[in-house]
Structure formats: structure tokens, C-alpha cells
Amino acid sequence: MKSRLFFKIFATYLILVLLVMAVMEFFLTPKIRETITRGVMERMIGHGRIMALMTMDEMLRKVTELAARSEARITIIDAAGKVLADSSWKDQKMDNHLNRSEVQEARLKGQGTAIRYSRTLQQSMLYVAVAVPEKDHIRGYVRLGRSLEEVALSIEHLYRSIYLTLFLITIPSLILAFLFARNIASPVRRLMELTQKIRAGERPPPMMAESDDELGRLTQDINFIIEEQQEKIRVATEEKSKLEAAFDGMVEGVLTLDRDNRIDQFNRGLRKMVGKQRADILGKTPLEAFRSADLQVAYLHFRETGKTVRQEVALGDEKSLFLDVNISAIKGYPGNEGKIMMVFHDVTRLKQLERMRMDFVANVTHEIRTPLTAIIGYIETLQHG
């Protein structure tokens, strides 16, 4: 079974990793490019300042060597802007460089920088110019140039190293995120399976707590709750069984009506009393089940008054079954609000005895009346004799 919680946790870590990479791409990359460019520029200025300490003749002799050491194109310019030497352009005459922006900035500030396209080399270049002082005036300029393509290659090389490092960090991070998400989702999934078994009516064994963290304590609490609830269910089941046994073993007939006024429960005593099957009673109204106008009148009277009603009713096609019914509301039991209970007592035997008594009295009265009439007649005859 797939765990949505696992995918949510793992996806969160994956999004965090991607977010970090996106932040580096959109925010750190320009900063890195700027930092590298500034570092290259400062190194070129440093080389230029060192060269400015040399004599012009020494710089002219070592221009190629200095270019190799500084990894830059070096141009030696005199105070008037004439190019005296260039490490990349030796045999051809070059334009006057006095009006170049980096040279003008160096004339005013001692050093200058510029980024522009070089028509001589036909590529974008980063230039740094440093003034070569001599007492109270400038005797010339040292200009270092470096291709921006080379700088870009350096930046690209750094990016490769950064992304390789990120990749090497990301893979273990994702593996750890996978394991972490699984360690969280697995106990939660087992807890869900445990609760589903309980909902299905099963009694699963307690779940082992694999750690002492919040999930471990949650597992212990759930185990305790399950054990406590199982004990309550056991006690309730035993009580219910006792009540059902007592209810079903009652001599009196008992039934209950739900909120829709239909019979939802009755005992064996009622079924024997009225001689009906379970399907003839369950789910029916009292009128549908017993076809008794007397019972219906008593029931309607209870519904109108809300007070306990006791009445004698006759059932059966020939009114041969006499029952004393007590109708009352069920109170004090949670979940049974609005339900009604009917308790039936079979008084058919008492009715039969009452009828026999009345017949006996009538017969005895008739039998005694005839001799008494004859005696009274004899007495009257003797009196008139």
C-alpha cells in the first residue's frame, strides 16, 4: 500500500533541495560571477602595480615573460599614449591609447579598469591600467588585458565544481530524506492498519514501539487506549449478554419501539405469547404486528399524553388472548432517548377463571332458585289451607 504521507515528506525534502539549487542559480550565480571578475581584476591590478615598480627598459625587455607570469596581455604605453610594446601585437603599429577609458582613469586615479570589445584581438576584453610614476609626473602606463572568454571559462569551471559538489551532496541528502520519510511513514501506516482492524471488529495484537520519540510514545498511547477500550468492550459485551439473557428469559412479553414507532427489539416471551414468528413482528408498527384496535388506542393515548398507560387488550381473531399491556417511555439510558417500551402480561387464564366463576355463580343461583320457589309455594298453600 502506497503511503501518501511518505510521498509528502519525501517531496518536501526534494522541493527543498531544488529550491536551494534554484536560489544558487538565480541569486548566487551573479554574485559568484561578480566576485570572480572582481578577483581577476584585483590580481591584474596587483601585477600592474608590481610592474610599475620596474624601469621602462626592464618592462620592455621582459614584456613577454611578464605576460606569461600574469596570464594576461601586457601593453606598455608612454605618457603621451604611444604603445611602446605589446605582448600579443609585436610587429604592427597600434593606435594611440591615451584616450582609452582605462588609461584616462589611471592618469587621474593611478589605476583604471574597463570592459570593452578589442578591435585588435576581435574579442571582449577586461582591461586594467596602472600609472608608472616617476617623482612628480607619470612616465607611462602598464596595461593588462584578459579575455572575458577566459574569465567565462574560469567561471564555468568553478560552476562545474560547484554543481558537482551539489550533486554529490544532493544524492546522499535524497537517500537520507527517503530513509527519514520511510521511518516516519512506516509506523504511521502500521498505526492506520491497526485502527482499521479495530474498526473491522478484529482484536489485533499490540504494536511494538520502535523508538522513544513522539511516534514511539504515540504508539504506546494507542496500545494503551486499545487495551482499555477492549476491556470496556468486554465488560459491556458481558453486561449486554446478561441483559439479553434476562430480557429473553422474562415470562412477560417485552418489546421496544424506535423513534419511527417501529418494533426494533422483542423477547422470546412475547413471541410465544402471541404465537408469531420473528419476521411477523420485527420492523413493524404495533398495529401492523398485532392487528389490535385496543392496543392502537392505548398507544395513541400514550403518544398524546406522554404518561404511562396501562390497559387490557384482546388479541387473536376470536379475541381469545387477553393481555395486560403497560406502555412507557425508556428513560435514563444513553442512546435510547425517544424510544418506547411495551410490557405484556398474559391474563387470559385469569379471564377464563373469571368467566368460570361467573358461570358457576349463575348456575348455582339457577339451581337454588327452583327448589326455593317450590318451598315458597308449599308454604303459601299451607297458610291458606
Q: What is the per-residue pLDDT across 353-380, written as a single tens digit (0 to 9) for each?
A: 777 777 666 666 666 666 767 677 767 7
Tally Cβ neighbours within 10 Å of residue 144: 28
Residue 141 scores a pLDDT above 90: yes
Residues 68-95: what's their mean pLDDT? Answer: 84
Residue 2 scores a pLDDT above 60: no
Q: What is the mean pLDDT of the chain?
A: 80
110 near 130, Cβ under 8 Å?
yes
DSSP 28: I
219 near 209, Cβ under 8 Å?
yes
Residues 21-38: what's their mean pLDDT? Answer: 77
Specify the pLDDT at position 332: 63
Specify the pLDDT at position 3: 58
Residues 289-318: what's their mean pLDDT? Answer: 86
Write the DSSP string, 178-197.
HHHHHHHHHHHHHHHHHHHH
Per the confidence metrics, is the pTM higher than 0.75?
no
pLDDT, tens only, 91-132: 667 888 888 989 999 999 999 989 888 776 677 888 999 999
Distance CA 223, CA 191 (A): 10
Residue 336 scores a pLDDT above 70: no
Q: Which three cell numbers stand for residue 309?
A: 398507560
Q: Which three cell numbers stand for residue 324?
A: 395486560
129 or 195: which carries more pLDDT confidence?
A: 129
- Distances in Å between the Cα of 197 and the Cα atoms of 158, 184, 207, 224, 324 are 57, 21, 12, 16, 48
Q: Which three cell numbers stand for residue 256?
A: 421496544
Structural domains of the chain, ranges and CATH numbers in brackets: 6-155 (3.30.450.20), 247-354 (3.30.450.20)
Write the DSSP string, 146-159.
EEHHHHHHHHHHHH
29 or 307: which carries more pLDDT confidence?
A: 307
Spatial CA neighbour of 325 closest among 339, 305, 341, 349: 341
Distance CA 276, CA 289 (A): 9
Specify the pLDDT at position 142: 93
Predicted confidence band at 5 (pLDDT cuts at 50, 70, 90)?
A: low
pLDDT, tens only, 261-270: 898 888 888 8
Write the DSSP string, 94-132.
----TTSHHHHHHHHHSEEEEEEEETTTTEEEEEEEEEE
Residue 288: its H or E element = helix 286-290
Distance CA 146, CA 141 (A): 16
pLDDT, tens only, 203-235: 777 766 666 666 677 777 777 877 887 788 888
299 near 313, Cβ under 8 Å?
no
Q: What is the 3-state secondary structure (H, E, C) of 330-381?
A: CCCCCCCCCCEEEEEEECHHHHHHHHHHHHHHHHHHHHHHHHHHHHHHHHHH
Beta bridge mates, 127: 114, 145
304 or 24: which carries more pLDDT confidence?
A: 304
207 near 36, Cβ under 8 Å?
no
